[in-house]
Amino acid sequence: MSDIKVEGFKASEILAALAQVFDSYSEEEKKSQIKKTNGIFEMRVKNAEGKEAVWTIDLKSTGSVYKGAPKQKANVTLIMSDDTFQQLAEGKIDGQKAFMTGKLKTKGNMMFATKLDGILK
């Protein structure tokens, strides 16, 4: 899944690993995850150099992670720094705290964004 990785982004390593987890799921597990989540996350991540990369976590139709904007309308767009994404993925900060401290911004369904914590774990 090297097409997910973007040089200079720690988030790309985490998302590539997540993509591998999704790929290893059986059809049953994928359907279960899609049914449970039923939505699309658009991740807009800025690295230390100020460059932005976009990834999509599709848990509405395909149960996959890919680089680029969503093919369908995202339920929520999450905007954060590379460091914030890494902290979220490692469980060092939760989404609510990141949002309250201004490290995480959302566009769209904010309540849906809370499902991301469960997916990253």
Query: Which tens digits make up the pLDDT trace of 48-73?
Result: 999 999 999 999 999 999 999 999 99
The CA distances from residue 110 to 24, 43, 50, 63, 72, in Å, are: 29, 13, 25, 21, 18
> Which pTM value belongs to this model?
0.94
Confidence of residue 3 (pLDDT cuts 50, 70, 90): confident
Q: Is 53 helix (H, G, I), strand (E, B) or coil?
A: strand
Q: Which residues neighbour 83 within 8 Å (Cβ) at sequence distance 6 or greater?
A: 10, 48
Mean per-residue pLDDT, 10-39: 95
Q: pLDDT tens for residues 83-117?
A: 999 999 999 998 899 999 999 999 999 999 999 88
Q: Which two tokens stand for residue 14?
A: 């985490």
pLDDT, residue 1, reads 47
pLDDT, residue 2, reads 59
Under DSSP, the state recorded for 60 is T
**The CATH number of the domain covering residues in 10-118:** 3.30.1050.10
Element (H, E) at 106: strand 104-108
